[in-house]
Amino acid sequence: MRWKVSLSTVSLLALGASACADDHATDLHASIAAHYDSELEALFQHFHQNPELSFMERETAARLASELSDLGYDVTENFGGTGVVAVLRNGEGPTVLIRADMDGLPVPEQSGLDYASTATQKDIDGVMKPVMHACGHDMHMTTLVGAGKQLMDRKDDWSGTLILIGQPAEERVGGARAMLEDGLYTKFPKPDYALGFHVWSAFPGGLIHVPEENAFSSADSVDITVYGVGGHGAMPHVTVDPVLIASQIVVSLQTVVSRSIAPKKPGVITVGSIHGGTKHNIIGEEVHLQLTVRANDPETRTALLDGIDRIAAGTAATFGVPEDKMPKVVRSPTETTPPTNNDPATARLVEAAIVEAMGEEALVPDGRINGMGAEDFAYFVTPESGVKGVNFRVGGAFEEDLDSPTIHHAPGFRIDPEASVIQGTEATVVSALALFEEGAD
């Protein structure tokens, strides 16, 4: 479905297109737009052209830290690896944390943008890879700086403590946990509220969607090593072919989704990588599979993960794999995150603040997501933490891309920075102001 919304309409949402927008809201929008023209556009392009991979965002973090320090924040660098923590204490009141992630992806950019990335970087596995911001983290950092400036400039409008986070390694779903393990909630004021946001290439540029409950799915990385008995390709009857076994496992894994979980419970098992063998006429000894697993609730997550173990072992046994060569299934202890669930009451408060300041027109008419993206923002707002969290989406599509949106994590991914940064910044600022007011009651 395509929304008939022009970018010019989006850019006017808070400039008086809604008759209920007051002068204060219009002033905020105008100030953000001016900041975008003078500084944020260039900052976005800098981040876009200079992406860095997970846990290796050294130059990115240094630039983000410099921007926040120049605004007057007390900045700590190299926290939880390459993380950035910026603090502004502004009297008595609640503590609000706003988080943006920093890492790019090992993807060669083919967006056609004038400022496309040509960067390469040796990853933590030692392999040189192309790098691009194929998921919009350049927009997230730019928006964080934009919101940081507006909240600094409006200190008279709120009271409490503001914490701005530049988080590493969201793409490996490990950066949030690393910052928390380094003492984020003990060495700095623990937040009462945490705000996050994610640009979304399928939504019109600048429109906002605030999920009331589930915002993102869980994610688990799983590795399977399939073993066989190698030999000559022309004599398969005296071998146990791991390529054939692995191929059957790939197909059979989809029965876990279709036959092991309830029909109305979403779940995904994707095999993102398969490698094995050395030569046309050689049956090898091993095949390696890399999987990502997604769910929205703990029961479905457990069923999917247990199903992978069952399918791998059962398929191998069917093909006569010896007991001492059964598949090895390893769930990553680091590339894992539970679902991100918004606090419903806080989500309603945030959406109401956005509507009051920006108008009903600022919301996506239908915010349903056809996919199961994951976010390690979940670690900041676990039930055990007591932190009330909201993660909302900001539309990023160019108008010409609405009929066929660009796909996250793909070489052709691109977003409209002007619409998404300006509207995303405004939504973040009014949400934070509402949370400071709510927490002061």
Reported as a pLDDT band with limits 50, 70 and 90, residue 226 is very high
Q: Which residues make Cβ contacts (< 8 Å) with residue 253, sequence separation at least 6?
A: 269, 271, 291, 307, 308, 311
Average of pLDDT values for 258-285? 96
Alpha carbon separation from 245 to 249, 250, 283 (Å, rounded):
6, 9, 12
pLDDT at 26 (0 to 100): 82
Catalytic residue list contains 156: no
Instruction: Quick: pLDDT tens for 2-39.
Output: 343 444 444 444 444 444 445 677 899 999 999 999 99
pLDDT digits (tens, 9 = 90+) for 37-53: 999 999 999 999 999 99
Q: pLDDT-derived band of residue 365, with 50, 70 and 90 as boundaries?
A: confident
Say what the pLDDT of residue 25 is: 75
User: At residue 384, what are phi and psi to the nearest 5 degrees?
Assistant: -70, -30
**103 catalytic, yes or no?**
yes
Give percent above pLDDT 70 in the chain. Answer: 95
- Confidence tier at 1 by pLDDT (50, 70, 90): very low
Selecting among 138, 170, 241, 375, the annotated active-site residue is: 170
pLDDT in the model for residue 101: 98
pLDDT of residue 6: 42
User: Phi then psi for 407, rounded to 5 degrees?
Assistant: -105, 135
Does residue 78 surpass a pLDDT of 70? yes
Amino acid at 441: D
Residue-wise pLDDT tens digits, 110-126: 999 999 999 999 999 99
Which of 103, 220, 376, 426 is labelled catalytic? 103
**pTM of the full structure:** 0.91
pLDDT on residue 22: 59
Segment 193-210 mean pLDDT: 97
Q: Are the CB atoms for 26 and 12 separated by under 8 Å?
A: no
**Per-residue pLDDT reduced to its tens digit, 388-432:** 999 999 999 999 999 999 999 999 999 999 999 999 999 999 999
